[in-house]
Structure 1
Amino acid sequence: MKLVFEWLSKVWNIVLKVFTTKLFQLGTQELSLIMIVQLIVMAIVTLYISRKLQDVIKRRVLTRFGLDRGTREALSSLIGYVLTVLGFLIVLQTAGINLSSLTVFAGAMGIGLGFGLQNLTANFISGLAILFEKPIKVGDYVKVDDLSGTVEKISIRSTTIRTNDGVFVIVPNTSFLENNVVNWSYEDPRARLRIPVDVPDESDPVIVTEVLLEAARKEPEVLPSPAPEVYFKGFGDGMDFELLVWIDNPPNMESIQSSLYYLIEEQLREQGIEHAEPQRDLYIRNLKDLEFLLQKPQQTGAGNGSYSQEESLSNKAVPAAKKNKVKANSRGKLTLRDLLRKVSYFEKCSDSDLRHIIQQGYRQMLKAGDIICEENDPGDSFYIILSGLVEVFVESIGKRVATRKPGEFIGEMSLLLGTPRTATLRALEDTILFVVDRENLKSLLAKHKDLADQISEELFTRKETLEQLGIKVGGTQEKQTGTNQIRQRIQSLFGI
Structure 2
Amino acid sequence: FGRLGVLAQGVEFGGVSISPAGILRGVVVLFVGLALVRGFMGWLEKRYLPITDLDGSGRNSVSLVARYVGIAVAFIWALASLGIGVERVALLLSALSVGIGFGLQAITQNFVSGLILLAERPIKIGDLIRVGTDEGDVKRISVRSTEIELPDHSTLIVPNSELITKSVLNKTLSNPLGRIQIKFSVPLDSDASAVRTMVQEAFAGEDAVLSDPAPAVFIDAITAGRIEFNCFGHVVHPRAAYSARSAVLMTLLKRFRDEGIDIGTVPQRLELVGAPFEPTRPND
TM-score, normalised relative to structure 1: 0.48
Task: Name the residue aligned to 2:145.
Answer: 158
237, 254, 279: which one pairs with 1:249? 237
8 Å Cα contact 2:110-2:143 kept in structure 1: yes
2:173 to 186, 191, 201: 186
Distance 1:179 1:197 in 2: 34
Question: Offset at 1:254?
Answer: 2.3
Whether 1:201 aligns to 2:169 is no
* Within-5 A mapping of 1:101-116: 101-116=88-103
Shift of 1:46: 3.9
Cα offset, 1:68, TM superposition:
1.6
Letter of the structure 1 residue corresponding to residue 157 of structure 2:
I
Say whether residues 1:84 and 2:90 are aligned partners.
Answer: no
Contact 2:180–2:242 (CA under 8 A) maintained in structure 1: no
| Conserved? CA contact 2:23–2:82, under 8 Å | no
- 2:80 matches 1:93: yes
Structure 2 residue matching 1:166: 3-state secondary structure: coil
Answer whether contact 1:29 1:98 (CA < 8 A) is retained. no
In 2, the alpha carbon distance for the partners of 1:256 and 1:56 equals 43
2:181 aligned counterpart, secondary structure: strand
Deviations 1:389-437 (A, max 9, x none): xxxxxxxxxxxxxxxxxxxxxxxxxxxxxxxxxxxxxxxxxxxxxxxxx
- Give the secondary structure class of the aligned counterpart of 1:139: coil
Aligned-partner Cα distance in 1 for 2:124–2:10: 49
Counterpart amino acid of residue 49 in structure 2 = L
Q: Tell me, what secondary structure is at the counterpart of 1:153?
A: strand
Q: Deviations over 1:46-66 (max 9, x none)?
A: 445434533431332122122
Over the residues paired in the alignment, what is the CA RMSD in angstroms? 3.0
Q: Give yes or no for the alignment of 1:258 onto 2:258.
A: no
Name which of 261, 266, 271 aligns with 2:259: 271
Q: Tell me what 1:67 maps to.
A: 54
Partner of 1:390: none
Deviation per CA, 1:65-116, whole angstroms, max 9, x where unpaired? 2222121111222222222212222222233332322332221211220122
SS in 1 for 2:146: strand
CA 1:149–1:280 in 2, change beyond 3 Å: closer, same or farther?
closer
Aligned to 1:476: none
Q: Which amino acid aligns with 1:70?
A: S
The SS at the match of 1:194 is: strand
Verify the 8 A CA contact 1:126 1:177 in the aligned structure 2. yes
Distance 1:100 1:210, change over 3 A: same
Q: How does 1:26-425 map to 2 (within 5 A)?
A: 27-30=15-18, 32=20, 39=26, 43=30, 46-47=33-34, 49-236=36-223, 238-276=226-264
- Cα distance in 1, alignment partners of residues 217 and 238 from structure 2: 21
* 1:110–1:162 distance in 2 versus 1, CA, 3 Å: same
Residue aligned with 1:266, SS: helix
Matched letter for residue 126 of structure 1:
S
1:115 match: secondary structure: helix
Matched AA of 2:127: D
Q: Percent identity?
A: 31
CA distance, structure 2, for counterparts of residue 222 and residue 69 of structure 1? 28
Gaps of 5+ in 2: 271-284
Aligned to 1:188, the other structure's residue is in SS state: coil
- Aligned to 1:222, the other structure's residue is in SS state coil
* C-alpha deviation, 1:272, in angstroms: 2.1
Residue type matched to 1:263 in 2?
Answer: T
* Aligned amino acid, residue 166 of structure 2: N
Q: Deviations over 1:269-291 (max 9, x none)?
A: 2322232276999xxxxxxxxxx
Aligned counterparts of 2:106 and 2:174: Cα–Cα separation in 1 = 31
Offset of 1:26 from its aligned partner? 6.0
The aligned amino acid for 2:238 is P
Mean CA deviation greater in 36-45 or 152-161: 36-45
- SS of the equivalent of 1:196 reads strand
> Could you say which residue in structure 1 is the equivalent of 2:282?
none
Structure 1 portions without partners, runs of 5+: 1-12, 282-496
Separation (CA, whole Å) in 2 of partners of 1:258 and 1:48: 54
Which structure has more relative contact order (CA 8 Å, sep 6+)? It is 2
* Secondary structure, counterpart of 2:98 in structure 1: helix
The verdict on how the C-alpha distance between 1:207 and 1:66 changes in structure 2, with shifts beyond 3 A counting, is: same
Between the aligned partners of 2:39 and 2:244, the Cα distance in structure 1 is 41
* Equivalent-residue separation in structure 2 for 1:61 and 1:27 (angstroms): 44
* Residue aligned with 1:161, SS: strand
Q: Give the Cα–Cα distance (whole angstroms) in 2 for the partners of residues 23 and 103 of structure 1.
A: 22
Tell me by how many angstroms 1:263 deviates. 2.4
Question: 2 CA distance for matches of 1:31 and 1:258?
Answer: 73
TM-score, normalised with respect to structure 2: 0.80
The answer as to whether partners of 2:26 and 2:81 remain within 8 angstroms in 1 is no
Counterpart secondary structure, 1:177: helix
AA partner of residue 246 (structure 2)? S
